[in-house]
Amino acid sequence: MPNVVIPEDRELLDAMIAYLEHASELYQPGPYWVQHTKRSSRQIRKYGVNDFRGRWRNSIGASFTDCAFVDHRRILPFGLATDIRLLVMKLLKFHKIFNNQVDLTFDYYQELMHVMALHLQNSEDFKRLVSQYKIPQDTTRGGCLATCPLNGGEVAILYLDKLYEHDIMAKYINYASATSFFEIGGGFGANVHLIIENYPNIRKIVYLDIPPNLYVGTQYLKSFFGESVVSYLQTKDKTSISFSNNNDLEILCIVPQQIEKLKLEVDIFHNAHSFVEMPKSVVQNYAKHIEKVLSDKAKVGLISYDCFDLGTTFHPDVLTSFFSRKFEKHAADCFIPSRRTKEQYFYVSR
């Protein structure tokens, strides 16, 4: 595949950051995300997003992408104390020792990816997913290093993981009969990408996330779908936001507070993992507005993980209490179990 450059739009980034400065508390990043968003904003301004899934500039996506995160210095909190520590390390040449350790860790990371790829290629889940679903071209765009060989090329392991989650959801939700899709907390847009490629019937999409995650996702999706992606700049001054009255592909990329302006209907709502990382009051408010845009036949699908920390998140079983409809709960092993996460929970509305 050709090396496609992910476009930059500093006007869009500036507008999103300005929004954050004035957004109400319900639509601000919660405690779990506030430091991540500040760090990512600074790194995007410095480096751009073309390599946000790579190694050297990975602090942009360290919290919501599949980047090769091997250097803890890139996610240290902002402030004078951190600046002093980094300066002392540099003056005393400790940074050379640290750099050598980071290089060694990256070597281990590459070995791990190689072993993981071999494991996946021989798994029944891998064989079923790649035969049953369409794998988009260039899933490694953005410098992805976590890949697996497929048909003479490479596929991002994260895309396979998203497909695995989707395959479980598709047992309970009929995506083939839907025409619209709404996702909150879509990372950098990989799930939206998969939905579009596999379901030509789904032409209208709402993708909501906090800046600057939304900026990364908007630009990533633009690199594939061009003018079909409607950015925050195009909707920020509108009093209401709706789909165009046609069958053209349309991806509305909106900031959190714009959920109050949605005047449309969606057939499927989806959230994976991020709701439990928000304050309960924020999720409750989202649920109220989500229910306003659900069509009569709509389904709600929520995913969470078993390694939740009640000190920073809440129990995923609480998620369904924010909605008026009833849910069924299903559990499944993770596509790639780790030392922290071995099982996922799937909540599907009846």
* Residue 190: CATH number of its domain: 3.40.50.150
For tokens 């609480």, the residue is 318
Whether 230 is covered by a domain: the verdict is: yes
Q: Is residue 233 domain-resident?
A: yes
Predicted model pTM: 0.90
> Residue 90: inside a domain, yes or no?
no
CA 167, CA 132: separation in Å to the nearest integer? 9
pLDDT score of 85: 65
Buried b (16+ CB within 10 A) or exposed e, 218-236: bbbbbbbbeeebbbbeebb
State residue 30's pLDDT score: 75
Q: Is residue 34 part of a domain?
A: no
Q: Which pLDDT belongs to residue 83?
A: 62
Token pair, residue 98, equals: 């640290």
Q: Which residues form the domain of 215?
A: 160-349
pLDDT in single tens digits along all 350 residues of the chain: 557 899 999 999 999 999 988 899 899 887 767 777 888 888 899 889 999 998 766 678 777 888 887 777 666 665 566 567 667 666 667 777 778 888 888 888 889 899 999 999 999 999 999 999 999 999 999 999 999 999 999 999 999 999 999 999 999 999 999 999 999 998 999 999 999 999 999 999 999 999 999 999 999 999 999 999 999 999 999 999 999 999 999 999 999 999 999 999 999 999 998 998 888 999 999 999 999 999 999 999 999 987 766 666 678 899 999 999 999 999 999 998 776 678 899 999 99
Q: Report pLDDT for 81.
A: 63
Residue 339 is predicted with a pLDDT of 61
Percentages of the chain per state (helix, strand, coil), in multiples of 5: 45, 15, 35
Res 79: pLDDT: 59
pLDDT of residue 57: 60
Q: What is the model's pLDDT at position 32?
A: 67
Q: How many domains does the chain have?
A: 1
Q: Is residue 128 part of a domain?
A: no
Q: In this structure, which amino acid lies at residue 135?
A: I
Residue 73 lies in a domain: no
